[in-house]
Amino acid sequence: MTIPLKNAKMGSHLVENLEYKIAELLGSFPLLKPRIRKIYIAFWYFLSRKRGFRIELDNSCKLINYKFSNQQKDNYSFYYGYYFPSPWSSETESIILNKLDTITGINEIQLYNKERFVSIGKSSAWNYQQGSLAQWIKRGGEEHIIFNDYYSGKLISTIKDTKGELVKRLSFPIQACYDYDKIASINFRRLDFLRPDYGYNQPSQNFPDNLTYEEDGIWLGSAESDSFNLELTIDQLIKYHPRAEMKGSKHKVNHVMFSPDGLKFLFFHRWISRISGKFSRLFVYSIADKSLKLLLDEKTISHFCWKDNNNIVVYTKSKSSIDYFQINIISGFIESFANGKLSKYGDGHPTFSPNGRFMLTDSYPNKARIANLLLYDAFLDNVHVLGWFLSPIKYEGIKRCDLHPRWSPNGYLVSFDSTHDGRRKTYILDISGLIDIL
So what's the pLDDT on residue 29? 66
176, 386, 390, 427 from 395: Cα distances, Å = 26, 22, 10, 17
So what's the pLDDT on residue 11?
44
- Compute CA distances 113 → 92, 181, 295, 405, 431, whole Å: 10, 27, 40, 20, 20
340 in any annotated domain: no
Is 107 a domain residue? Answer: no
Q: Give the max Cα distance, the chain.
A: 58
**pLDDT at residue 4 in the model:** 35
Q: Is 142 within a domain?
A: no
Q: How far is CA 213 from CA 206, 208, 226, 247, in A?
A: 15, 12, 23, 14
SS3 15: helix
Query: Which tens digit of pLDDT belongs to each residue from 361-420?
Result: 999 999 999 999 999 999 999 999 999 999 999 999 999 999 999 999 999 999 999 999
Closest by CA position to 104, among listed 77, 79, 75 = 75
In this structure, which amino acid lies at residue 355? N
**Is residue 246 one of the residues assigned to a domain?**
no
Q: Is residue 169 part of a domain?
A: no
* Average pLDDT score over residue span 115-127: 94
Condensed to tens digits (0 to 9), the pLDDT of residues 294-331 reads 999 988 899 999 999 999 999 999 877 899 999 999 99
Note the pLDDT of residue 5: 34
Q: Cβ–Cβ contacts within 10 Å for residue 339, how many?
A: 11
CB atoms within 10 A of CB 34: 14
* pLDDT > 80? residue 135: yes
Averaged pLDDT score across all residues of the chain: 91
Q: How many domains are there within the chain?
A: 1
Return the pLDDT at 276.
Answer: 79
**What's the domain range around 63?**
1-74+349-438
User: What is the per-residue pLDDT for 30?
Assistant: 63
Each residue of 236-245: pLDDT tens digit? 999 999 999 9
Is the pTM here over 0.85, yes or no? yes
List phi, psi (to 5°) of 296. -140, 140
Residue 379's nearest CA partner among 358, 351, 395, 360 is 358
pLDDT value at 7 more than 50 = no
Question: Considering the domain boundaries, does residue 364 fall inside one?
Answer: yes
pLDDT exceeds cutoff 90 at 71: no
Whether pLDDT at 14 is above 80: no
In DSSP terms, which residues pair with 313 in a beta bridge?
305, 326
| 207 lies in some domain | no
Share of the chain above pLDDT 90, in %: 79
* pLDDT tens, position by position, 21-35: 666 666 666 667 777
Alpha helices in 172-273 (DSSP H): 188-194, 234-239
Nearest 5°: phi and psi at 26?
Answer: -65, -20
Poorest-confidence range of 69-73, 178-182, 272-276, 297-301?
69-73
Of 64-68, 169-173, 413-417, the least confident: 64-68
CA 418 – CA 18 distance, rounded (Å): 29
On whether residue 411 sits in a domain, the answer given is: yes
List phi, psi (to 5°) of 43: -60, -50
The predicted structure's pLDDT at residue 2: 31
Dist. CA 101–CA 112, nearest whole Å? 18
- Measured CA to CA, the distance from residue 302 to residue 282 in angstroms comes to 9
